[in-house]
A = this chain, B = another copy of it.
């Protein structure tokens, strides 16, 4: 990167952080727990999110924002959960930023929400620098991608809170080495929570839902304490 581009980029990031802080304050005031998802293209973000929305719907008010370069395919898939879903089309931009989230929320969702999910553009590099005001950031990694991904894309693992290992139903077929993968995650981000799941079979989703319930209660507690 040229020095000039680096300087401009630093200003853009500073601007994003100010906007993200505003979003975080607003989410706190409205008692909505916000979870974002980042991963490579094809890691199974949308399948995992569809399953999550469907399982949460009976008990909670949920909605999702979903980012993509082109197409509204993901919004259409997620809408099958019957949750309100809005697509953010980014054109050639390789990540969501706080301004896009801000703009998407305006004039949408007047009703109170328990959970808002934000699915980022499929990319293991660019989203890492952009705070979206979320409470929890998941990085998803499918068993088919290779156990070395945490070592090769350390920044995204460092800015996420939980590593979700997806497509566990394919683990055997691709000879996935869980121990090696966990060790690689821990070497990049010691102590990181790891959640193996299969959106297809539903394995691991109970642990994930408990975690979301905890997040929500924690948020409500914090609100009561204010």
Contact = CB atoms under 8 A, between A and B. Distances in A.
A39 to B, nearest CB: 9
Contacts of A42: 40, 142, 144-146, 149
Interface residues of A, number: 43
Contact of A69 (B4, B70, B153, B167): B153
A156 to B, nearest CB: 9
Nearest to A148: B73
A15 B3 CA distance: 14
Interface in A1-59: 1-2, 4-5, 8-9, 12, 15, 40-42
B1 A9 contact: no
19 contacts: A1-B93, A2-B8, A5-B9, A5-B12, A8-B8, A40-B40, A40-B41, A41-B124, A42-B145, A68-B152, A71-B148, A71-B152, A74-B152, A94-B123, A123-B124, A123-B126, A126-B126, A142-B144, A144-B144
